[in-house]
Structure 1
Amino acid sequence: MSNMALYKREVKGSFKLLIIFCAVITMYVSVIINMYDPQMMKMLDSFTEAMSELMASVGMKANSADLLGFMVSYLYGFILLIFPMLFCILRGNGLIAKYVDKGSMVSLVAAPVKRRTIAFTQVKVLVSGILLLVFYSTIVELICAESGFPGELDITALLVLNGGLLCLHLFIGSICFLSSCIFSDTKYSVAFGAGIPAFMYVLQMLANVGGKAENAKYFTFFTLFNPDGMIAGESGAIAGIFVLLAGSVMLYVLGIMTFERKDLHI
């Protein structure tokens, strides 16, 4: 159902972006995990308490009880959300809308390949990139944690947590892909594909601050990704991840169907 020639070409097009984001993730993950020592934790906690609202907005909390809790506080509220999300936005737009906008989609649909095959291949390209980023992040976390603090990381909980992270980014990617399929102009594709996840993240930041703004959590899908709840094995947190996974499948399918029926004017 997919076209291997197109898949290989598009994966090659993702290579530079993946290298950049992997390098950034490596830097942040290694630095943050190596800060897990009494002196650095004390300094980070005092900084977090001094700027409590700002730090809370990106999910950073003081007084983490263990290594995984420390990683959740300083990695899963901003770093591991924003950078894979940027990859989804940048790559999602380039898979369909960019071809249509430049008029080069004619070379794809003119070949003896069904539109459904083209769209499904592009979904595979985006999903492959997301899988690689999350898998790479997991490997870097394991290496840094085990080399610096052997035996202190709950590996099973980390794998569950990153499974949830994967589902979140698959959902974000599905929004970007659907926007790319709906709009023929890249400026609209980017506006919606980037605007919706970015707006949802801003709402999550407001909800994290607490107070009256906490009600914003009911209007953003980021609420469905609850790292603390997942680590604790809460059923509601696990259910939220399955909702994200089901939603991503639905949006990817809707994107493929939209592209099949799209008037390309070619």
Structure 2
Amino acid sequence: MFSKSLLKATIKQNYIVFLIILAVMMMYITIIAGMYDPSIQDTLDEMLKMMPKELMSAMGFTSFGNTLLEFISSYFYGFLILLLPMIYTIVVANRSIASHVDRGSMACLLSTPNTRMKIARTQAFFLLVSITLLIGFLTLAGVGMSVILFPGELDIPGFLLLNLGALILYYALTGLGFFASCLFNDTKNSLAIGAGLPVAFLVLQMLSNVGDKTDFLKYFTLYTLFDPEKIVQGEGYILSFIVLFLVALVTYSGGLYVFNKRDLPL
């Protein structure tokens, strides 16, 4: 079903960028968890009101909340979770198929007993597992630091649900990147879609948060389907999760089909 040798080579190719993004994410979640102090929440909210409203809204900083979960949700999951893993997914998704075709190494892979479907399944498997590990390690770090610094303060089920939402979001985004990588023969066109769409989604999401005049832009970005506030409140997120999962299913399946059927410049 998978090529072990290709999987090992893919891990070797991408583990450094994985570790860098993971280290940055864990650093931020640790710092943010350590900044929580219920006694100064009102002061922080007052400081927030003094900052440019449009800028703070664009970055998802509308309120720091009253609980540890709300604080982490606003400070980290309002913007940083949309940016940091995206960098990883753009790089790795492009390397999965299009980079091999562009460099000519796909011909070498197909000269082995590996079929197109086996190669594509292996790369899709790596994408899904690696992004799951990335969000999984982030979740463990967040829970661990919260338990150490503020025992009993964190709503752990709510935090796990928040990270589940982030994971499904990135299943959908990696699916878009994988589909683009399978569709094009060169990295330029692959990145135009695989990187262009996520970046455009992020910009549109930021603009939609600015005010009522730009609120309509939320209908043109996948990031709208990940709403930390609704997830923390425990309502109105199930349909969004389903839609994101379907996007992931369609894009990964479409990528496998397209790569298996199209002509390759070998």
TM-score range, shorter chain: over 0.9
SS of corresponding position for 2:157 = helix
Partner Cα distance (2:243, 2:8) in 1: 31
CA contact (8 A) 1:57 1:207 kept: yes
1:160-202 Cα shifts (integer Å, max 9, x gaps): 1111110000101011111111111111111111110111111
Which residue pairs with 2:165 in the alignment?
A: 164
SS of corresponding position for 1:264 = coil
Alignment CA distance shift 1:152-1:240 (3 Å): same
Residue correspondence of structure 1 range 1-266 to structure 2 within 5 A: 1-38=1-38, 41-42=41-42, 44-49=44-49, 50-234=51-235, 236-266=236-266
1:59-114 Cα shifts (integer Å, max 9, x gaps): 11224110000011000121112111111000000111111111111011111111
CA contact (8 A) 2:64 2:75 kept: no
Any unmatched runs of 5+ in structure 1?
none
SS of corresponding position for 2:195 = helix
Q: How many pairs are equivalent?
A: 265
CA RMSD of aligned residues (A): 1.4
Structure 1 stretches of 4+ with a deviation exceeding 3 A read 38-44
Please identify, of 58-67 and 155-164, the stretch whose mean Cα deviation from structure 2 is larger: 58-67
Partner Cα distance (1:43, 1:51) in 2: 16
Partner Cα distance (2:48, 2:63) in 1: 6
CA contact (8 A) 2:38 2:66 kept: no
Please identify, of 103-112 and 57-66, the stretch whose mean Cα deviation from structure 2 is larger: 57-66
The one-letter amino acid paired with 1:88 is T
Following TM superposition, by how much is the alpha carbon of 1:43 offset from its aligned partner in structure 2, in angstroms?
5.5
Partner Cα distance (2:84, 2:170) in 1: 10
The one-letter amino acid paired with 1:243 is V
Following TM superposition, by how much is the alpha carbon of 1:26 offset from its aligned partner in structure 2, in angstroms?
1.4
The one-letter amino acid paired with 1:199 is A
1:17-61 Cα shifts (integer Å, max 9, x gaps): 111011101111111111111466455434422222111111112
Following TM superposition, by how much is the alpha carbon of 1:142 offset from its aligned partner in structure 2, in angstroms?
0.5
The one-letter amino acid paired with 1:232 is Q
Partner Cα distance (2:46, 2:103) in 1: 52
Following TM superposition, by how much is the alpha carbon of 1:242 offset from its aligned partner in structure 2, in angstroms?
1.3
Partner Cα distance (1:74, 1:232) in 2: 16
Partner Cα distance (2:173, 2:40) in 1: 34
1:102-138 Cα shifts (integer Å, max 9, x gaps): 1111011111111011001000111111001100110
SS of corresponding position for 2:263 = coil
CA contact (8 A) 1:35 1:41 kept: no
